[in-house]
Structure 1
Amino acid sequence: MTTPLYHIDAFAQTPFSGNPAGVCPLTSWLPDGLMQQIAAENNLAETAFFVPRAEAGAEYEIRWFTPAAEVDLCGHATLASAHVLWQHLGFAHEQVTFHSQSGPLRVRREESGRLVLDFPSRPPQPLTAHPTGLADGLRATPLHVLAARDLVAVFSSEAEVLALKPDFAQLLGIEYLGVIATAPGSGGVDFVSRFFAPRVGINEDPVTGSAHSTLIPYWAAKLGKNALRARQVSPRGGDLWCALREDRVDIGGYAVTYALGEIHLPA
């Protein structure tokens, strides 16, 4: 038994940048354990699996797995999945809808080739105290700490975020899926971020679309503007074009194909 596998660099315009994702288009779901094994074997931040919705045409079901766990929302692997549909599978519609644990997620393609995710907005709420172990885990003390699905640690400058050298063993004790470090940007970028998620097998994620469901409403309120440019300043790095639309966010970026092939599975 074989299934196709695409290796896509998302939030990137050239290979070796952005966030690599595995994408497996399926005709029907594989067993959960097998999808987790495939994600672990791929050893990428996430592997996305999607199947068509019966008679829906432009609608699919999608799930995402890190090497260690299934997650409820993933931006870069959704962007990568849409890229595979348009670039490799002859998808002819202007927009695709993926149905997920986090509700319907739409992706549209602009004339420039940029893909735009329509994701839920998840505004973070301030915490009255810093969670135990956060400063030790980041080896730095943030100005403010907020929380949604992920913990948000706000710093005063991009340089502070770039300088972080986390203790990932300490961050394992933080009771959130991931820890986002963020600060105002420079050079035409409104804000920057890094994302650490050792609890789900990802010490540092190169570019995290789902984190921007939380970052966009935060920085839109802070900066008084709804259209924002963002950059994730991981070693690979990636650029995002963002907008807040009431209870939804737009997260735009490019994607490129790095490799494609087949997975040989046990019968």
Structure 2
Amino acid sequence: MKQKIYQVDAFTDRPFGGNPAAVCILDAWLDTALMQSIAEENNLAETAFAVQKGEVYELRWFTPETEVDLCGHATLATAYVLFNYYNHNEKTIRFYSPRSGELTVEKTANGWMTLDFPTDPIVAIRNNRELDNAIGLTPIKTFKGKTDFMMVYSSQQEVEAITPNLHLLNQLDCRGVIVTAPGQEVDFISRFFAPQCGIPEDPVTGSAHTSLTPYWYEVLGKSKMTAKQLSKRGGDLICEYLGDRIKISGKAAPYLTGEIEI
């Protein structure tokens, strides 16, 4: 059996930037173990699989090691594929995730697309010695969301200089760790580490911004903010806080189209 596959760089306007995701638009769901094997073979941060059900696309995401609850960049990449290769003529694509509910992506101006995701409520916690040791730098504040820890620092330079101990990070009970600070050229910056999911440092993490946006909304008093993720590839986002929902906007660039043998 042959299956079309696409690789798209998300949250960037050029190939080799942003976060690469593989996308497979399926006629019907494959066995979960097979989808996990495809994601492992792709060896990208995420591989997205979608199946059209009426006017909605069911959507699932896999890292090389596990299925995840929510993935922003692979959702953006899937929308790009549907808009550009599957003749989706409507302005908005409706997705449904069995793990995260209803999601939408809207095509806006000048190549931008906007994700509509649920907000991730975060709770302040005491600084965690194991977490601090794993990251290598004690934050000014620590929070816990649904799946991630978030550590806040005072400057972009501090975040840029972080070199985490991935072995220690891998022992933590979480999906990953967000580190963040005010930005020099944008409202806030971040990095994201998730060795538990087979991703030492994620290039751009849309889902992490469902935790970041409500925090920086409270700090900055702005509902719409610019953001940058400071990985080697880098990524640019516009985030808007809407209470129980977050809008996350970005661009995408195609890299590869092909077929895989299943």
Q: TM (normalized to structure 1)? A: 0.96
Work out the CA distance in 1 between the residues paired with 2:152 and 2:109.
35
RMSD: 0.7
Deviations 1:148-182 (A, max 9, x none): 02100101100010001111000012111110000
The corresponding residue for 2:72 is 75
Q: Supply the distance in 2 between the matched residues of 1:153 and 1:256 (Cα, whole angstroms).
A: 30
Note the C-alpha offset of 1:104. Answer: 0.4
Query: Which among 79, 97, 116 is matched to residue 94 of structure 2?
Result: 97
Structure 2 partner of 1:165: 163
Distance between the aligned counterparts of 1:168 and 1:131, measured in 2?
16
Count of residue pairs the alignment pairs up: 260
Alignment partner for residue 152 of structure 2, among 148, 154, 157? 154
After superposition, where does 1:46-195 map in structure 2 within 5 Å? 46-53=46-53, 56-57=54-55, 59-100=56-97, 101-127=99-125, 129-148=126-145, 149-187=147-185, 189-195=186-192
In structure 2, the residue matched to 1:222 is 219
Contact kept, 8 Å, 1:133 with 1:173, in 2: the verdict is: no
Superimposed CA distance per residue, residues 34-55 of structure 1 (whole angstroms, 9 cap, x where no aligned partner): 00000000000000000001xx
Indicate the SS of the match to 2:200.
strand
Question: Deviations for 1:164-211, whole angstroms, at most 9, x for unmatched residues?
Answer: 111100001211111000000012x00000000011111100000000
- Distance of 1:140 and 1:5 partners within structure 2: 40
Distance 1:126 1:81 in 2: 33
Q: Secondary structure at the match of 1:166?
A: coil
Give the residue type in structure 1 aligned to 2:213: I
Listed as ranges, the gaps of 5+ residues in structure 1 are: none
The partner residue of 2:203 within 203, 206, 218 is: 206
Q: 2:244 aligns with which of 244, 247, 252?
A: 247
Aligned with 1:17: secondary structure?
coil
CA distance in structure 2 between the aligned counterparts of 1:186 and 1:27, rounded to whole angstroms:
46
Distance 1:144 1:173 in 2: 21
Q: Distance in 1 between matches of 2:121 and 2:181?
A: 16
Partner Cα distance (2:133, 2:215) in 1:
24
Cα distance in 2, alignment partners of residues 179 and 204 from structure 1:
10
**1:131 and 1:174 in contact (8 A); partners too:** no
Question: 2:19 corresponds to which residue?
Answer: 19
Note the C-alpha offset of 1:27: 0.5
Do the aligned residues in 2 keep the contact of 1:123 with 1:215 (CA within 8 Å)? no
Letter in 2 for 1:65: F
SS, match of residue 203 in structure 1: coil
User: Which residue is 2:10 aligned to?
Assistant: 10
Q: Distance in 2 between matches of 1:246 and 1:181?
A: 22
Query: Tell me, which stretches of 5 or more residues in structure 2 are unaligned?
Result: none
SS at match of 2:110: coil
The 3-state SS of whatever aligns with 2:201 is: strand
- Matched residue SS, 1:162: helix
